[in-house]
Structure formats: structure tokens, C-alpha cells
Chain A
């Protein structure tokens, strides 16, 4: 490996950041909504896998990738609804229930996804942003996932909505102080269940990106911990949708280091590079959490940040 491979690697990482970061972006935006309402949904890892399977199935049966995206989102909303309903029962621990849903979601995905491993489903078409260049490498790196601009717009809309709409205010109030919400007549349980559903819906779109764009097929090793990283990402982003966008790009880049190095021929130590996103997430959590204070900006009802 020599120094003039560096621009190639950086270019591959940039393309990879968007390509790999899109599922992170959607899952973290969905989890942002859920956590702002005071509930944590660790089951998004299972939602990611299950909705990837559902998206692939939808695209296979209908022939259109965008129908698959819708199917994936609905599947995600379904699992989110289950999480929301079960966690609104008294004394149920939402962290443990998230783990349970993670296992159930992956189990259901593998069960239904058995006949989906071989066939090829219609894929999402990339948006070629790199047409201005004559170099094929630049064109490849800049042909981006069509769901990514949707994610960016969603982040902007959420950022505005949390601050300027009644829905956003209700959501934040339910997450900060359920007693204040009750005093004002807002239904805490209903808001949280709805927020968990929306979170699952958006995270489902991220799952569709996995099976319909990159890696673009359904198999049992599709996601390993990406949903979990996205949940940790939300804490790091201080529950701000724009920070979620930047953090998703950073983590997408970190996750793309392995494939980028492979594309220039460095294949030794592949597994170590695969471990980078997890290690980076852990490092950031260590640096930003503190044992005696609550994190600034955390919804007070959130059990993980209390």
C-alpha cells in the first residue's frame, strides 16, 4: 500500500460514507423520535433486519423497488407498534423488551426470509451525481443512494418540527415530564406508542436501503449491530436530528474503511477494520457520558440517561 493509493481510498470512503451511512441515518432519525418521547427502542436492530427482509420481499413480488421500500417501512412500524404497546404496560423494562424484540425480529426475518436468499429483486436506482467527472472512480463514488436525499430532507423537517410544531412540543413534553403532560391533558401512553411506531416506520426505510441498494440482496448476515450503533449514535448526537445526519456520515465512513481498503487490494486484517464502527461507537460513548451528571439535552423520562 503506497501513498498514491490514498486519493482512491478517500474517494471510496466518501462514497461509502453515504452508501453505508444511509441505514444509520434512518434508524437514528427514527430512534430520535422514539427517545424524545421518553422510550428507548433497542429492538431497532431486529426491526432493521426484519424490514430489510420485508422490503426485499415486497420488491420481489411487485417488481418495483419503491413498493419494497413501503413494505419495509410498514413492517418496521408493525414491530415498533408491538414494542410500544408492550412497553406501555406497567413495570415492563423497555431496555430488556428491546433486546427481546431484537431477537424476535431477527428470528422472524430469518424464518420468512428463507425463500428470499436466492432470487434477485428489483433494486433502487442510484442518482448519478458524479456525471461531471470523466474518472470512473469518481462517478462510482458519487452515484448515491436515492434514499439518502430523502433522509436529509427528513432530518431537516424533523429538526424544524421538534421546535416549531404542536406535535413536536407534545412529544418533547411527554419525554421530559410525563406529569406535565398529564396536567395538560396530553395522553402520555398514546404519544409514546405513536412515537415508537413512527420510529419503526422510519427505521424500516433504513432496512430497505440495506436489501434494495447496498449490499442489495437478502441473506442472514445482512446487518450486524448497525441498528444498535444507530441507537448509541442518537445519544451521542444529543437527540438533535442534524447531528444524527453528521454522525451517520461519520459512522458510514468508518464502516466503509474495510471495503475501501479491500478495493485497493489490502485484504489482511479485514475483520479488524470491520470492528472499527463498534470500537468508534464505544469510544464516543465513553468520552461523552459521565457517571454523575445527566447528559445535556436528554429527555428526562428516558431510562438510559437518568
Chain B
């Protein structure tokens, strides 16, 4: 029983220590660059959670991160390291913007449902390919998912600029804007769109599937030890491809939501590194869907605060990129400390010498 609580403590403490160390290192880095670390930290926190406006901004930015993080987390529970969230997001956004061009859609919520479904299916197929290549051709999934990501971005640019280009978009090539009735609107009067709710719901669903259903459990067994899974008779290939497809579906959905809620058309602004930040969110939350919720908010907050750093202190806009990089590297390095923190809580047993 004690070991359970020790591992829970470790699961919470290690990511927290990693994030704090990342912030500390970033402060030192800023100090070397001539900026004041305390100012940097206070601006980061203020820009992330300081007032209602920045809180809404952080939530807005966290919404797609929830889904792109799942694109890494679900295959990770099956034992794969898939980095293709950016590609799946882009493919999903493209599918979302392209569907109305080819298929007449109903108005309102039903239309939204169809474009989001299309984006999820497109993203899912993209990453399912990665799983398929790994199981049936032995191609390393990290390399193939990254390559497919670059291919997706180039394909996206080609289709947006040449095939589906809206003649009215002169300076910035873009597809035809979506019809207003199928766009995703804001929640009540706030600045946040419904995509956030989708993201939260799907994270919770992912948790329920992974930890409370048999197929989720089977997937985690494959992740723990693929050979044992095969010995026990689990359909390893199918489970891996399915896990990849589900993860890719989440990222594709993120792309669709970005197009339908934020940009209203598919253009180059869709490619803003959301997939890569999702990788970070997933690793810091140790691929646990429930932990992704607060971590995405935190890192979305940092990303939102980045522009404050630029405006108030004059730091380059890549500074948040550096901070996130530090946090990721330290989080990955903290794996070495896993299993060691509990040592402090174990009392040393004193061997009583037998009374003579």
C-alpha cells in the first residue's frame, strides 16, 4: 500500500519539479541575456493567469493542446513514441476546409458535426499509417511520423495554394472560408470557443477508455510489454494501429476545430507548432489523459504569456520556445529519478540483534 502512495507522490512530484527546474533554468538563461529573472517569472505568471483576459487567452490556447497531446499520449500508452501530431492536425484542418467544397453540407450544428468528423477521420488515417508501417514493415514510428508530418505540411501548402485556393484570398493563400452557420462559436459571452469543451470531454473519454475498459487495458498491456501481450493472445497489431488511429483522430479534430473556430478557412496560420507543443504537454503529464488537462492549461498559459515577454521586456518571441524546450529536456531527463524518490520515505529497518 505504501508503494502505491509513493508512486503517486512520484507521479506528481517529478513533473512538478521538472517544470519548476525549467522555469529556474529559463530565469538563469534570461539573466545571462541581461534580463531580470524575477521580472520574467512574474510576467509569465501574469500573462498566463493574471486577469480574466489572460486566463481566457490561456484557455483558448490550451484547447488544441489538449487534443494534440492525446495524439502522443494514446500511442504512448501502447508503447509507441509518435511525434506526428503536427501533420495530423494539418491534414485534419485541410479535410475540414475541403469537405464543403466537394459535398453539400446541412446548415448549423449538423454541418459542424460532419466537418469535424471528416477532420478526425483524416487525422486518424494519417497516424494509423504510422502504426501500420511499424507493425507490418518494422519502420521506426518516430521517424516515420515526423516524415509524414513534413509531407503533410507540404501537401497542405500545395492544396491550399494551388488546388483549393480561394481566388479572393490574394496576399495570403487560403481555401474558401467556411459558411458561418457551421463554424464553432464562443461559449456564452466569453472569448473561448466550444472547442475547449470538446477537448476536455475527449481527454476524460480517453481516460475512461484507457483505464476503465478492457480494450484500453489491452492497449496498455501492449504498451507495457508487447511480447507478453502476444503470448497472452492479444491482437497486438490491431491494437497498435487502433491506438495510433485514435491519437491521430484527436489531432485531426484539433486541426478541424482550429479551422472551424479560429481561422474559418485553411491557410498557413494553421501551421503554428501546436503539434510540437502537444508533444511537450504529453511528456510532462506522463501520457496520462487526466493530467493533460492541467498541464495543457499551464503550458498554454506560458505560450500566451510569450507575447507579454516580447512587449514588456523586449525578449525575442522565441523565448517561450526556449522555455518549453528546457522543460521538455528536463522532464525527459527526470526519468532517471523515477523509482528513486520513494527511497526517502522508506524507513530503514533496524535489525535487532538477538539478545544473547
Contact = CB atoms under 8 A, between A and B. Distances in A.
Interface string A269-302: 1111011001101100110011110000000000
A132 interface: no
B154 A96 contact: no
Interface of A: 42, 82, 86, 89-93, 95-97, 99-101, 103-108, 110-111, 114, 224-225, 228-229, 231-232, 268-272, 274-275, 278-279, 281-282, 285-286, 289-292, 304
Contact of A278 (B154, B276, B318, B326): B154
B338 interface: yes
Contacts of A279: 147, 151
B139 interface: yes
Q: Is the interface of B mostly helix, strand, loop or mixed?
A: helix
Contacts of B151: 275, 278-279, 282
Contacts of A106: 321, 325
B332 A290 contact: no
Contact of B147 (A114, A272, A282, A292): A282
Interface of B: 81, 83, 133, 135-140, 142-144, 146-148, 150-151, 154-155, 157-158, 161-162, 276, 279-280, 283, 316, 318-319, 321-322, 324-326, 328-329, 331-333, 335-336, 338-339
B328 to A, nearest CB: 4
A278 to B, nearest CB: 5
A275 B154 contact: yes
B332 A96 contact: yes
27 contacts: A89-B335, A95-B81, A96-B81, A97-B329, A99-B142, A100-B329, A103-B279, A103-B321, A103-B324, A103-B328, A105-B325, A107-B322, A108-B325, A111-B319, A114-B316, A228-B143, A269-B162, A271-B155, A271-B162, A272-B154, A274-B154, A275-B150, A275-B155, A275-B158, A282-B151, A285-B143, A291-B136
Contact of A107 (B146, B148, B318, B332): B318
Contacts, number: 138
Contacts of A91: 335-336, 338-339
Contacts of B322: 104, 107-108, 111
Contacts of B332: 86, 92-93, 96-97, 100
A-B pairs with the 3 shortest C-beta distances? A104-B325, A107-B321, A110-B318
Nearest to B136: A291
A157 B275 CA distance: 40
Contacts of B283: 96, 100
B7 to A, nearest CB: 15
Contacts of B138: 289-292
A105 B328 CA distance: 12
Nearest to B134: A291
Contact of B333 (A89, A103, A107, A270): A89
B324 to A, nearest CB: 7
Given A89-B333, A110-B316, A289-B138, 19 more contacts: A42-B143, A86-B333, A91-B339, A92-B332, A96-B81, A96-B332, A97-B329, A99-B83, A99-B279, A103-B324, A104-B325, A107-B325, A111-B316, A275-B155, A279-B151, A282-B147, A282-B148, A291-B136, A304-B140
A111 B317 CA distance: 7
Most chain B CB within a 10 A radius of its CB, from A89, A99, A224, A290: A99
A249 B354 CA distance: 77
A19 B148 CA distance: 25
A290 B148 CA distance: 19
Contact of A272 (B139, B158, B324): B158
Contact of A281 (B83, B147, B324): B147
A100 B283 CA distance: 10
